[in-house]
Amino acid sequence: MTAVLMSHRSAPPSAARIARARLGIELRLFFREKQQVVFSFAYPVVMMVIFGSVLGGDERPGHIPFPQYFLAGIAATGIMLTSFQALGTSIAGERESGQLERLQLLGTPPAAYFAGKAGQVLVTTAAQLALLLPVARYGFDVPMPADLRHWLTFVWVAALGALAGTVLGIAVSALPGSATSVATGVSAFAIVLQFFSGVFFAANETPGWMQHIAALLPLKWLNQGMRSAFLPDRAGAVEVAGSWEHGRTALVLAAWVIIGTVICVRAFRWRRGEA
Amino acid sequence: MTTTETAPLPGVAEQERAAVTVRGLVKRYGGRAVLDGLDLDVARGECFALLGPNGAGKTTTIEILEGVRRRDAGEIRVLGEDPATGGRRWRDRIGVVSQGEAAGQALTVRETLDHFASYHAAPVPTGELLAAVGLQESAGTRVVRLSGGQRRRLAVALGVQGRPELVFLDEPTTGMDPVARRQFWELVRGLRAGGTTVLLTTHYLDEAAELADRVGVVAGGRLVDVAPPDEVGAALRRHSTVSWIEDGARREVRTDAPAAVLRDLLAGPQAEIPGLTVTRPGLEDVYLQLVGATPSEIEGELR
């Protein structure tokens, strides 16, 4: 039986076919891992409910009700968690447990693996936002984007932010150290970054040095882009720059996509310590 | 350390018959040569065991042959290709039974096998695989709930799923209980019977004797002997030990001619010679001499 098959073997399945299989398995695994579901998927909804309930009556600069301001920030955070944090932790774990080595032994095209991850991020992020927005709308009376133009802003900001988070998550998974230490580092970084990037406090409430650091990193811009979709246009005037800065937002996020991609190409390894 | 001349690889016709050909393989870690001019030939259809103490370079050799570790020098052909540049078609022709996890532990056995089927040109149907490794009962069980032995079976199923011509097994039964080990050996014999070439590493002598057509002993980064299990260390095996008790003390004579020693003994004045034995070295004795270790050292390493 084997002898016959040896002589005329057909080519292995295409990268696209493997990518589809990867996406299926990634999604199945994501929703079976309780830690992933709780810490990256459910987190924004839980935070929305907590902060919306506690600070529901407060106002942010520009007479914006707190829940309306917070929805933009927590949506941006959610995108960061389902992309950056989820991938950084899961890939480091897959490398440590030998799953990536198996993929390498099978000759898996890296592009198929990344496509599976990116697809997973897309689906989980969309599902997360589809859960978060109704909770904000019906639980805390937060208005949705005013018109098609604002919805389009929401879509491009979310997509670009998720893309940056995806490549940076893959990049950060290559950090040295055990999978647990990578996971701890990534989660701690994600938490601190939320405070720097205006998720809980408005940017003009934070000290200058914090604003400068935040302005170099993607979350602030993702957050600001989200505010431009959810908040009334007049609120742009109370931003640090006095406007929504769409051009700069696109530029910074795109720059991080490129930086992350370069790191992935250079640093991605199937196994620890060897090419 | 002298520089070794690397012998040229055999001709094309010979390579066709060979599953693995290695000449002068060198691998260094931080300047220390773990492999120092290793030569190896494995014929198609053969079960070959690389035997050696921990740290002898068995795993490094296997990983280089699998194409997941780089080498520093040497010529290698695995199924006619250089593993360092082997593409997906080549990878589909080799199988690896690895120690690592397959995919996530939250998947069931069947889900895992169904998923990895999509990486192969001509996968064995999942039902057939489950039957072959005796996991039908556990098909719906999540990997996290499998016993150690069941996980190894799943690893075997994944290793042979793509109908490989050559299968690598790196210390496949380490940590298994005796029953699971014997069941595993049956699986390997089944592969071998089906015409698959098997290259395994082990530090269990009984495993090598049980499974392998030929055994290669690795020590000091080289292959120090290659032979069928009962012929390894032929030169060392020629020595017999004649032992008996004389005046209340045990006496031993090591000799290439035990019959002559016996004749002399029997010609002596005693009617009976107490405690008389003639022993030839077994695989273990020969192995220990080949790897240049005393028994106590080896036991320390094996633990």
Show the low-confidence residues of chain A (pLDDT under 70): 1-8, 203, 273-275
Please answer yes or no on whether A33 and B106 come within 8 Å at the CB atom.
yes
Q: Is the pLDDT of residue B301 over 60?
A: no
ipTM above 0.95, yes or no: no
Buried b (16+ CB within 10 A) or exposed e, A103-116: bbbbbbbbebbbbb
pLDDT of residue A6: 47
Please answer yes or no on whether B96 and A10 come within 8 Å at the CB atom.
no
Please calculate the CA angle B220-B221-B225 and round it to the nearest 5 degrees. Answer: 80
Please answer yes or no on whether B115 and A21 come within 8 Å at the CB atom.
yes
SS (H, E, C) B8-48: CCCCHHHHHHEEEEEEEEEEEECCEEEEEEEEEEEECCCEE
Looking at the complex, report in whole angstroms how far the Cα of residue B90 sits from the nearest Cα belonging to chain A.
9
pLDDT band at B116 (very low <50, low <70, confident <90, very high): very high
pLDDT of residue A7: 52
- DSSP letters along A174-197, please? TSSS-HHHHHHHHHHHHHHHHHHT
Helix (H) or strand (E) holding B121: none
pLDDT in tens, B165-175: 999 998 888 77
Strand order in the sheet with B222-227: B94-97, B166-170, B197-202, B47-51, B214-219, B222-227
Helices (H), A55-98: 66-80, 86-96
Using an 8 Å CB-CB cutoff, list residues of chain B that contact chain A: 66, 68-70, 87-93, 96, 98-104, 106-107, 111, 115-116, 118-122, 158, 162-163, 165, 194-196
pLDDT in tens, B190-230: 888 988 999 999 888 888 888 999 999 888 888 888 888 88
Using an 8 Å CB-CB cutoff, list residues of chain A that contact chain B: 1-3, 5-6, 9-13, 17-18, 21, 24-25, 28-29, 32-33, 97-99, 101-102, 104-109, 270-271, 274-275
- Percentage with pLDDT > 70 across chain B: 91
pLDDT of residue B113: 95
Amino acid in position B296:
S
pLDDT of residue A202: 76
**Is A26 exposed, middle or buried, given 0-12, 13-18 or 19+ CB atoms closer than 10 A?**
buried
Strand order in the sheet with B73-78: B32-43, B18-29, B73-78
- Please tell me which of the candidates B92, B96, B103 has its beta carbon nearest to residue A25: B103
Query: What predicted TM-score, i.e. pTM, was given to this entire model?
Result: 0.81
> Taking CA atoms, what residue in A is nearest to B113?
A25
Q: Is the pLDDT of residue B296 over 80?
A: no
Place of tokens 């030929």: B214
Using a CB-CB cut-off of 8 Å, the residues of chain A touching B121 are 9-13
pLDDT in tens, B54-87: 888 888 999 999 998 899 999 999 999 999 998 8
Helix (H) or strand (E) holding B197: strand B197-202
The tokens describing B77, both together, are 């052909």
pLDDT band at B133 (very low <50, low <70, confident <90, very high): confident
Non-local CB neighbours of A59 within 8 Å, separated by 6+ positions: A65, A66
pLDDT of residue A167: 94
Residue A83 DSSP one-character state: I
pLDDT of residue B293: 59
Question: Across chain A, where does the E strand assignment appear?
Answer: 59-60, 64-65
The tokens describing A201, both together, are 């406090």
Angle between the N-to-C axes of helices A148-172 and A86-96, in degrees from 0 to 180, rounded to the nearest 10: 30
- Please tell me which of the candidates A12, A33, A270 has its beta carbon nearest to residue B89: A12
> Taking CA atoms, what residue in A is nearest to B66?
A105
- Percentage with pLDDT > 90 across chain B: 36
pLDDT band at B299 (very low <50, low <70, confident <90, very high): very low
pLDDT of residue A44: 93
pLDDT of residue B63: 92
User: How many residues in total does chain A contain?
Assistant: 275
pLDDT of residue B11: 66
Looking at the complex, report in whole angstroms how far the Cα of residue B7 sits from the nearest Cα belonging to chain A.
28
Report whether A70 contacts A226 (CB < 8 A). Answer: no
Helix (H) or strand (E) holding A242: none
pLDDT in tens, B5-28: 566 666 666 666 799 999 999 999
Half-sphere exposure of B205 (CA within 13 A, CB side): 16
